[in-house]
Amino acid sequence: MTGKREDRVVRTRENLEKALLPILIFAPSVTVLCWIAAWIFRDEFVFKAVLIGLGCFAVVLGVAACLLVLLKRIDRGG
């Protein structure tokens, strides 16, 4: 009995990791690229501000996506 439950928990954890991995790769990489580009174009205020905002938006979007995936997984019962 407990073997089936443990297998299900392991499969659920693997599926969760597969769902979160692209988010956890995408958000930090886009943020770093945007902030580096903002530093390179630091003399152009408007362009720099847009790149900094875009980098922050990627972080917020990544956190929201992670929370959404986690909440959906928890609502379904694992």
Task: Using CB atoms within 10 Å of the CB of residue 73, give its burial: 0 to 12 exposed, 13 to 18 middle, 19+ buried.
Answer: middle
Residue 71 has a pLDDT of 81
Does position 78 have pLDDT exceeding 90, yes or no? no
What integer pLDDT is reported at residue 18 of this predicted model?
79
Q: Over 90: is that where the pLDDT of 11 sits?
A: no
